[in-house]
Amino acid sequence: MWYKADITIIGAGVVGLAIAAQVASKDRAVYVLEKNEAFGLEISSRQSGVIHCGIYYPEGSLKAKMCVDGNRILYELCERYGIGYRRLGKLIVATSDEETRELQTLLARGQGNGTEGLRILSKQEMKELEPNVEGIAAILSPSTGIIDSYALMKYFIARAKEAGVQIAYQTKVVGIEKKADGYKVTVEDGTGKFSFTTRTLVNCAGLHCDKVAELAGIDIAKAGYKLHYCKGEYFSVSSSKNTLVKRLIFPVPPPKVTGVGIHVTFDLEGRMRLGPSIHYVDSIDYAIDNRHKQLFYDSVRRFLPFIEYGELEPEMAGIRPKLQEPGGDIKDFVIRDESDKGLPGFINLIGIESPGLTASPAIAKYVRGLIEGVSYRH
Ligand SMILES: Cc1cc2nc3c(=O)[nH]c(=O)nc-3n(C[C@H](O)[C@H](O)[C@H](O)COP(=O)(O)OP(=O)(O)OC[C@H]3O[C@@H](n4cnc5c(N)ncnc54)[C@H](O)[C@@H]3O)c2cc1C
């Protein structure tokens, strides 16, 4: 079917689709290959839908730059193309003196990263905004919001398709071989196996990106690409509590920021939920352990005293593709052309965990720069 592609993107999650929309052009043959029967069925549909503001990530990291940039681009896209969103704002609430000191560190980091509008609130100022939240101080982030991630992916698909990108579902990449002028890619679809060549190959395979990198002959242990799966569960809260807070309410994150802490988020219909928790797991399964209800309750009742144990119900779970090992240091996104491994034009995106949804349009710009040899401007 395709004998010579210019750019082939593996994975139709929000990241692969954002890249497809960004690199799409009538002058190029661009393909997206997706092993599932539809787009966005893995990480991109099992997440919080928060447009993050960029406060958590180390200064200078790709996570920080792309989160701040992606935040701005997402709001522009939402406004211009009617993608559902709400700029709710968020509070990060301190409940101890130690956490109050940590707010200063977070504030400085966020400001260093270029996050707009951050400020510290006293207890009284916090209570004026959110009378049902308990704490002794908070950071207000006005640029945090929520987005309809399904509509965002549909927007990227429409943009890509109008410039000629083809998306092949139920098409799994099973082989990658370096050739003189690009890569021979072998795929498996309902009818069997076939191969084609592509000049540039972009690996956006989410939870399977390490295995795809391995297909190209990369030693993933040596490269530091081995993923650790980390489950995040969500519990819903009784609808009678939906209006008790107006903003997203987050705790001060634990040290080493494996996640941002179990927080309150809303969907676009205004339903409140708590999550995501953090449990490293060996395999991908989305079952929720009801015994974790106590952990959810204990995590939030310090700052949300109106939550009752009996009203929490298991809702859904997602899996993070972490480079960070349990107890290990925070790791940045890996987004690179693998020329120094003898694989020019093979672009790997590894460990695209949160804030990958927020960052997706900025990641796409960055990858386009790698393909076209142009450097990324923040
Ligand atoms: C619990 C949780 C909460 C989160 N909350 C937020 C949040 O609030 N805000 C935020 O900004 N980010 C959040 N994130 C992060 C964000 O969801 C992800 O960074 C983003 O969705 C990753 O998108 P992706 O396209 O890389 O991966 P995916 O959506 O998983 O897409 C990868 C695709 O590749 C396909 N694929 C894999 N292997 C192959 C193969 N061999 N051949 C063909 N196709 C293949 C898969 O089927 C899949 O569809 C959260 C993540 C989790 C897990």
Q: What are the pLDDT tens digits along the chain (378 aa)? A: 456 899 999 999 999 999 999 999 999 999 999 999 999 999 999 999 999 999 999 999 999 999 999 999 999 999 999 999 999 999 999 999 999 999 999 999 999 999 999 999 999 999 999 999 999 999 999 999 999 999 999 999 999 999 999 999 999 999 999 999 899 999 999 899 999 999 999 999 999 999 999 999 999 999 999 999 999 999 999 999 999 999 999 999 876 656 788 999 999 999 999 999 999 999 999 999 999 999 999 999 999 999 999 999 999 999 999 999 998 999 999 999 999 999 999 999 999 999 999 999 999 999 999 999 865 554
- The response to whether residue 345 sits with its C-beta less than 6 Å from ligand 1 reads no
Distance from Cα 277 to the centre of ligand 1, integer Å: 17
pTM of the model: 0.97
- Rounded Cα–Cα distance for residues 114 and 352 (Å): 21
The amino acid present at 328, given as its one-letter code, is: G
What tokens were used for 27? 């002058």
CB 360 within 8 A of CB 72: no
- Rounded Cα–Cα distance for residues 58 and 131 (Å): 32
CB 207 within 8 A of CB 217: no
Residue with CA at minimum distance from ligand 1 atom 9: 50
Ligand 1 atom closest to Cα of 14? 25
Distance from Cα 14 to the centre of ligand 1, integer Å: 7
What tokens were used for 152? 């965002």
**Residue 114's closest CA among 162, 160, 59, 151?**
59
Q: How many CB atoms lie within 10 A of CB 304?
A: 25
Best residue for ligand 1 mutational test, from 170, 357, 367 (most atoms within 8 Å of Cβ): 357
Length of the chain in residues, anyone?
Answer: 378
- Rounded Cα–Cα distance for residues 85 and 282 (Å): 34
Between CA 352 and CA 155, with CA 35 as vertex, the angle to 5 degrees is 65
* Residue for token pair 């990324």: 376
How far apart, in Å, are the Cα atoms of 78 and each of 74, 153, 331, 335, 366?
A: 6, 12, 29, 26, 21
- The response to whether residue 232 sits with its C-beta less than 6 Å from ligand 1 reads yes
- Rounded Cα–Cα distance for residues 263 and 294 (Å): 15
Distance from Cα 151 to the centre of ligand 1, integer Å: 15
Best residue for ligand 1 mutational test, from 10, 31, 47 (most atoms within 8 Å of Cβ): 47
- Count each helix (H run) and each strand (E run) in the chain, helices first: 9, 20
Q: Is the peptide bond before 276 cis (omega within 30 degrees of 0)?
A: yes
- The response to whether residue 170 sits with its C-beta less than 6 Å from ligand 1 reads no
- The response to whether residue 165 sits with its C-beta less than 6 Å from ligand 1 reads no
Ligand 1 atom closest to Cα of 33? 43
- The response to whether residue 168 sits with its C-beta less than 6 Å from ligand 1 reads no
- The response to whether residue 363 sits with its C-beta less than 6 Å from ligand 1 reads no
* Rounded-to-5 percentages of helix, strand, coil across the chain: 30, 30, 40
Distance from Cα 376 to the centre of ligand 1, integer Å: 22
What tokens were used for 38? 């539809």
For residue 231, give the 3-state DSSP assignment. Answer: strand
Name 6's Cβ contacts closer than 8 Å, sequence gap at least 6.
28, 29, 30, 198, 199, 200
Distance from Cα 125 to the centre of ligand 1, integer Å: 37
Best residue for ligand 1 mutational test, from 15, 354, 366 (most atoms within 8 Å of Cβ): 354
Distance from Cα 40 to the centre of ligand 1, integer Å: 7
Best residue for ligand 1 mutational test, from 10, 33, 39, 42 (most atoms within 8 Å of Cβ): 42
- Rounded Cα–Cα distance for residues 233 and 218 (Å): 32
Residue with CA at minimum distance from ligand 1 atom 15: 354
